[in-house]
Structure 1
Amino acid sequence: MEELVIGIDLCDTYTKICCFEEEKAWTVPTVICKKKETDQWFVGKEAYGLMLTGTGVMVDKLVSLASKGGTATIEGVCYSAGELLERFLEKVLEFPKREYGAEKIAQLAVALSRVDSAVIDALLKCADALKLPRQRLHIISHTEGFVYYAMSQKKEVWATQVGLFDLSDEGLFYYELKAQRGIRGMVVQAEGRPMEESFNLDILENASGARMADRILCSCGERLLQKKLFSAVFLTGKGFEKLDWADNFRKFLCSKRKVYGESELFARGAAYYAADFKRPKTAYPFACICEGRLKATVAMAVRQKEREIQLVMASAGDSWYDARSSVEVIAEGQDYVDLTITPLDVKKKRTVRIPLEGFPDRPDRTTRLGVSVGFLDENTMAVAIEDKGFGELFPATDAVVRREVRM
């Protein structure tokens, strides 16, 4: 194998790593440990071993630390969360490199339980430090990892709805996916959420706790799956590595449904996603609407050659983090900018009007506007409109309007 295509499921408690079309996978605790009085760093079980013997200083919950922009002080030295995450990723990437005798990474996709801008920034800086070009790093949500895993299976698996239960030290989560073919092609919608009825995996160690957990899962399953047609249900996570404790839940799931288990589902979904960037044409010709992706299209009406057109600033299915666009237009008889937000349900289409407050009064068609659109998250659009003037006749001013708009 000359170049590696890697998928990583990065969580606070564990990290799973696998390569595209390879069976072998690795699971390590998401911790980093520095051996005292040395510059040696260790991950996983070795890290715990050093901590238990008192010969190392360990830091855990690296994703949360990066999300908060936190730091950790080890032997008097302050390390940023990004630095610790970089050292951790460097170590875990050694597993597939050693296994397959390859140093170069062609594509790397990281699946996160929650797509957070601070964590994305930290991961991009990690890529820089590891000399991995940023265009080879892709960051997706668990929900999107589920989408690409499911849509990489035979059509009969995703023909109707697909459900997923994820039970791990992070909690109990449920995801649901549905593929629909419309006028403009296929759209895959998916969503995931934590279950209020979550429980700690420690209760599975005794019979009474296991029975209670089985009842909780049955209750969730009946509420979520009844009266719906599912082509498949997947189980993933440490809690489902064995199902002998969940006899009633297993029987309920397997009644008139196909049930599959995949312990590295999110990592493998990330690997499928990463592999698609090596292809000249995508193997996934659909718009993906899920966590981390925009659920509506943003457009602005402009006149071009005496004809009004809708200039798309961001499209439904775009990654919110990467969805940025800027355009310059000339105001024609109006002191505002209208942006049209169109979700998949076009009946909910709406127009957001942003007044050009504080802009100078000028004759018609002598004000050039710079309109920039970006996103703070998948539900919040940030708009900036600047006065660009109109040549030497009307120099630009420092007038600018900024607005945050809920999608």
Structure 2
Amino acid sequence: MKGGKILGIELNDEYCQISYYDDEKHEPETLEVAIDNYQIPLMLGYLKEQWVYGKDAKRLSEVDEKYTVSNLYSKALQREKVVLGEKTYDAIWLLAKFMQMALELFGSIEYITFSVPHTDIDISKMLKGVGQFVGVSKERVQVQDFKESFCHYMFYQPKELWQYEAALFYCDRNEIRAYMLRKLKTVVGRGTDLFVTVDEVASAKMKELAAIYPVLNVDKAKDADERFKSFIQSVFDKKVVSSVFLTGEGFENNWYPNSLKVLCNGRRAFLGNNLYSKGACYASYRKGRDYEERPIYLDDSKMMEQVCLKMRVRGKECWYPIVEWGTHWYEADGQWEVLLEDTSDIEIHIESLASGELQAETVSLAGLPERKDYALRLQIKTMFLDEQTCKITFKDAGFGEFFPATDFQVEKMIHLGGSNGQFNSLS
């Protein structure tokens, strides 16, 4: 059994990759399937009342495909029914079964972050359900896309590697895509908060790549090298780039020596295929163990507003965020219990990151029972009805056996701006 209880899992249609946080090394390690091979085939098989997964399922498929199922991730997204042997299964259940088998050696798991090509509310709900299937509560399961995983990976690298922009090149058999991590210039008054994003800045179809992978064709490799070099130069034009990361199966053969010289000219370059799972593992570590303030990742799907209440936290008064910017609206529901001082209303602050505007809303507590300070316990619950509407509920929670809870409850609707192109106003 592995000691890691904090996991990052990359999922795509072909394979799964698992990184776990090593408490002794203080960094993620990636589960090896074979020497220098971290990719677990995303396949499941069932024969003679026995389930197999990964490499064993792949070997079984070579004998008889009808006992195996591949493309589990896309089938689960499409909510497909899958015939395996003589039975029919929900593809989501099969994906959950695969993850259960793949994670058996980890024992008790604290946090999981899934890293997938893209995410939305349906994907998030599905993968949180998969997490629950393997014994992790949905509050301890996160879902993020590859760009955000790259960002979380960079947060834990030496600062000089992302002092300026950091580049990521992904290459498969047919295409190269380029991404840039950059810091955002936000409105004044945001304190020491640092906001970053990752942009896809360019992509190119390269027919030569199919010819040079997995068997190297010398002439095709030279052509691909020259095209990749030109591609890099166009991406780096007028940019100051601190570091470069290469990932994807297309970089496995050393077909790009001239391009590599351009990549390494005045900057450090790194090659590897476990960046996304390690970035996801760092995201889990950040949620569960790391309480230090770090940069906040933003993109078009993240919230640009923050909702705060004035509280005393660990003896210090502050505007405490009950809805934080940089979260997905469909993951921003929360619940707290607070002790009230002598007050007749609660003030809510809604801060816009893009415009810098601060909106104040007041909630009356008229009708709340009168009790001495700190004997009034209030339950506060946030629930998003859609991307732009947050319902905040304030409810009397009582105070143990001394003061039973009453039926006092008040609701406040907060209308937020949603995306509305606000993210694009940051540069």
TM-score with structure 1 length normalisation? 0.72
Could you tell me how far apart the structure 2 residues matched to 1:273 and 1:118 are?
A: 20
Displacement of 1:105: 1.2
Give the match for residue 354 of structure 1: none
CA contact (8 A) 2:95 2:130 kept: yes
Displacement of 1:264: 0.5
CA contact (8 A) 1:187 1:289 kept: no
CA contact (8 A) 1:185 1:286 kept: no
| SS of residue in 2 equivalent to 1:228 | coil
Q: In angstroms, what is the RMSD of aligned CA positions?
A: 4.0
**Match among 200, 205, 219 for residue 193 of structure 1:** 200
Could you tell me how far apart the structure 1 residues matched to 2:140 and 2:195 are?
A: 24
Give the match for residue 282 of structure 2: 272
| SS of residue in 2 equivalent to 1:197 | strand
| SS of residue in 2 equivalent to 1:186 | coil
CA contact (8 A) 2:28 2:282 kept: no
**Match among 247, 251, 264 for residue 240 of structure 1:** 251
Displacement of 1:219: 3.2
Displaced runs of 4 or more, over 6 A:
310-313
CA contact (8 A) 1:66 1:119 kept: no
Amino acid at match of 1:252: V
Give the match for residue 5 of structure 1: 6
Give the match for residue 19 of structure 2: 18
CA contact (8 A) 1:9 1:15 kept: yes
**2:157 paired with 1:174:** no
Q: Percent identity, please.
A: 22
Mark the CA change 1:383 to 1:106 in structure 2 (over 3 Å): closer, same or farther. Answer: closer
Could you tell me how far apart the structure 2 residues matched to 1:227 and 1:72 are?
A: 51
**Match among 25, 45, 63 for residue 55 of structure 2:** 45
| SS of residue in 1 equivalent to 2:330 | coil
Mark the CA change 1:188 to 1:204 in structure 2 (over 3 Å): closer, same or farther. Answer: farther
| SS of residue in 2 equivalent to 1:317 | coil
CA contact (8 A) 2:28 2:278 kept: no
Displacement of 1:25: 3.0
Displacement of 1:156: 1.0
Q: Number of residue pairs matched?
A: 349
Mark the CA change 1:208 to 1:249 in structure 2 (over 3 Å): closer, same or farther. Answer: same
Mark the CA change 1:159 to 1:19 in structure 2 (over 3 Å): closer, same or farther. Answer: same
CA contact (8 A) 1:313 1:325 kept: yes
Could you tell me how far apart the structure 2 residues matched to 1:91 and 1:199 are?
A: 37
Displacement of 1:52: 1.4
Give the match for residue 203 of structure 1: 211
Mark the CA change 1:127 to 1:23 in structure 2 (over 3 Å): closer, same or farther. Answer: closer
Mark the CA change 1:125 to 1:299 in structure 2 (over 3 Å): closer, same or farther. Answer: closer
**2:114 paired with 1:106:** no
Could you tell me how far apart the structure 2 residues matched to 1:246 and 1:195 are?
A: 18
Displacement of 1:32: 2.2
Could you tell me how far apart the structure 2 residues matched to 1:44 and 1:126 are?
A: 17
Give the match for residue 85 of structure 2: 75
**2:254 paired with 1:250:** no
Q: Deviations over 1:47-85 (max 9, x none)?
A: 222111116533222222222222212234221121111
Displacement of 1:161: 1.0
**2:145 paired with 1:145:** no
Structure 1 unmatched ranges of 5 or more: 301-309, 327-338, 352-370, 386-399
Could you tell me how far apart the structure 1 residues matched to 2:206 and 2:90 are?
A: 32
Mark the CA change 1:2 to 1:19 in structure 2 (over 3 Å): closer, same or farther. Answer: closer
Q: Deviations over 1:338-385 (max 9, x none)?
A: x98834x428x799xxxxxxxxxxxxxxxxxxx987376xxx545789
Structure 2 unmatched ranges of 5 or more: 22-26, 33-37, 309-318, 336-348, 360-380, 393-412, 421-427
**2:188 paired with 1:184:** no
Q: Deviations over 1:70-106 (max 9, x none)?
A: 2212234221121111111122224xx2xxxx51112
Mark the CA change 1:125 to 1:3 in structure 2 (over 3 Å): closer, same or farther. Answer: same
CA contact (8 A) 2:7 2:20 kept: yes
Amino acid at match of 2:12: C
TM-score with structure 2 length normalisation? 0.69
Could you tell me how far apart the structure 1 residues matched to 2:151 and 2:219 are?
A: 35
Could you tell me how far apart the structure 2 residues matched to 1:293 and 1:198 are?
A: 30
Aligned pairs for 1:207-246 within 5 A: 207-242=218-253, 244-246=254-256
**2:322 paired with 1:316:** no
**2:295 paired with 1:286:** yes
Amino acid at match of 2:19: C
Mark the CA change 1:131 to 1:372 in structure 2 (over 3 Å): closer, same or farther. Answer: closer
Aligned pairs for 1:328-367 within 5 A: 342-343=352-353, 345-346=354-355
Could you tell me how far apart the structure 2 residues matched to 1:275 and 1:45 are?
A: 29
| SS of residue in 2 equivalent to 1:346 | coil
Could you tell me how far apart the structure 2 residues matched to 1:269 and 1:25 are?
A: 14
